[in-house]
Chain A
Amino acid sequence: MSEFTDEQIKRYSRHIILPEVGGKGQKKLLKAKVFLVGAGGLGSPAAYYLAAVGVGKIGIADMDTVDLSNLQRQILHSNKDLDYSKALSAKETLEDLNPDVEVVPYTERLISENIIDIIKDYDVVLDGSDNFPTRYLVNDACVLLGKPLSHGSIFRFEGQATTIVPGKGPCYRCIFETPPPPDLVPSCQEAGVLGVLPGVIGVIQATEVIKLILGKGDLLIGELLLYDSLKMDFKKLNVRRNPECPICGENPTIKELIDYEEFCQVHF
């Protein structure tokens, strides 16, 4: 794309007048390819804004279908989408919002055998998954590919976010080396989550992705942002690369991707 259409000049005018974005930055966004893991609580607000600002290609993976209990927070989906694929529902919602955006839905589960092929052509990955096996798989795949990753996670009233740029800062395993034992983790169903919480964390993740694409501002590299919605407290923890990290350390012991046992199964 060389020039904007009249409609694009109007649609993105509030970006184009920002010196930090401008026409140049807006073109970067329109050329960018972002992959979202999950079209749920975090993926919904993140995808909504990424599509609104004109990220050219959005891949979105979710193997689940829309359940009534999702609609309290997963704003990509509506009553009419019940029992329909979340990835396909996401595509329809996002392309309605902005026809400049190409949305590629993936309805299969991400596993060690397919993840590299699926994400390798995207520029940035945004993890909004709801289980630890996928989180570790996505982290490891991004480290192996050297791909930037925006991490976000939520539980009840609390959320976390960090940005992983392999080689420039710590990865998820530098902080949390191995997954917690499966039997200790309460399932998403048992735990509950405040409906607006993923909105805050998902939009923080989208902000990080946009800054990565634009090459502007300071990223959450080496920082774990902790948000407590009940106390309305934001805190940043400094985290460093672990030289003994099993995937990004000096002598990595993980050389191929691992499919951990599923332990946050939410099937309705």
Chain B
Amino acid sequence: MIQINVNGEKKECPAGTSVSELLESLDIDKRYVAVEVNLKVVPRTQLSEKKLQENDSLEIVTFVGGG
């Protein structure tokens, strides 16, 4: 297991987990969100390729469109 930080909270996930897999495990539909890993936005097409590393810091931001 590796330690990661998601929206300011410490979490654990198996080594080699992709961003896409993490979102699934958190029950988040990836079409709704933008994900930043270590201050860099991960393009939606690369969410399955991007593997998480120890101490990675993630921000998951939901699409908000109302006005």
Whether the Cβ atoms of A226 and B61 lie closer than 8 Å is yes
| A198 contacts chain B at the CB level, 8 A cutoff | yes
| A181 contacts chain B at the CB level, 8 A cutoff | yes
| A216 contacts chain B at the CB level, 8 A cutoff | no
Instruction: Name the interface residues of B24-61: CB closer than 8 Å to any CB of A.
Output: 29, 31-32, 34, 36, 39-41, 43-44, 59, 61
What string of 1s and 0s marks CB contacts (under 8 Å) between A181-201 and chain B? 100110010010100001000
- Looking at the complex, which one of A175, A180, A181, A191 makes contact with B41 (CB distance below 8 Å)? A175
Residue among B32, B34, B63 facing the most chain A CB atoms (10 A cut-off): B63
Whether the Cβ atoms of A155 and B44 lie closer than 8 Å is no
- Looking at the complex, which one of A38, A127, A178, A224 makes contact with B61 (CB distance below 8 Å)? A224
Q: Which residues of B contact A152 (CB under 8 A)?
A: 67
Report B67 CB to chain A, min CB distance, Å: 4
The CA-CA distance from A160 to B43 in the complex, in Å, is 20
Whether the Cβ atoms of A129 and B41 lie closer than 8 Å is no
- Looking at the complex, which one of B39, B62, B63, B67 makes contact with A43 (CB distance below 8 Å)? B67
Report B38 CB to chain A, min CB distance, Å: 10
The CA-CA distance from A160 to B62 in the complex, in Å, is 10
Whether the Cβ atoms of B61 and A175 lie closer than 8 Å is yes
B residues lining the A interface (CB < 8 Å) = 8, 29, 31-32, 34, 36, 39-41, 43-44, 59, 61-67
Whether the Cβ atoms of B65 and A155 lie closer than 8 Å is yes
Report B36 CB to chain A, min CB distance, Å: 6
Q: Which residues of B contact A175 (CB under 8 A)?
A: 34, 41, 61
* Secondary structure of the B contact surface, majority rule: mixed
A residues lining the B interface (CB < 8 Å) = 38, 40-43, 127-132, 135, 152-155, 158-160, 174-178, 180-181, 184-185, 188, 191, 193, 198, 224, 226, 235, 237-240, 242, 244, 264
Whether the Cβ atoms of A42 and B31 lie closer than 8 Å is no
Q: With A177-B44, A240-B40, A242-B43 in contact, is A38–B67 under 8 Å at CB?
A: yes
Query: How many residue pairs between the two chains, A and B, have CB atoms under 8 Å in the bound complex?
Result: 73
Report B32 CB to chain A, min CB distance, Å: 6
The CA-CA distance from A118 to B17 in the complex, in Å, is 48
Whether the Cβ atoms of B41 and A239 lie closer than 8 Å is yes
- Looking at the complex, which one of B8, B34, B39, B59 makes contact with A176 (CB distance below 8 Å)? B34
Whether the Cβ atoms of B64 and A160 lie closer than 8 Å is yes
Report A189 CB to chain B, min CB distance, Å: 10
Whether the Cβ atoms of B61 and A188 lie closer than 8 Å is no
Q: Which residues of A contact B29 (CB under 8 A)?
A: 184
Q: Which residues of A contact B61 (CB under 8 A)?
A: 160, 175, 224, 226, 237
Q: Which residue of A lies closest to B63 (CB)?
A: A180
Report B41 CB to chain A, min CB distance, Å: 6
Report A151 CB to chain B, min CB distance, Å: 10
Residue among A128, A180, A242 facing the most chain B CB atoms (10 A cut-off): A180
Q: Which residues of B contact A239 (CB under 8 A)?
A: 36, 41
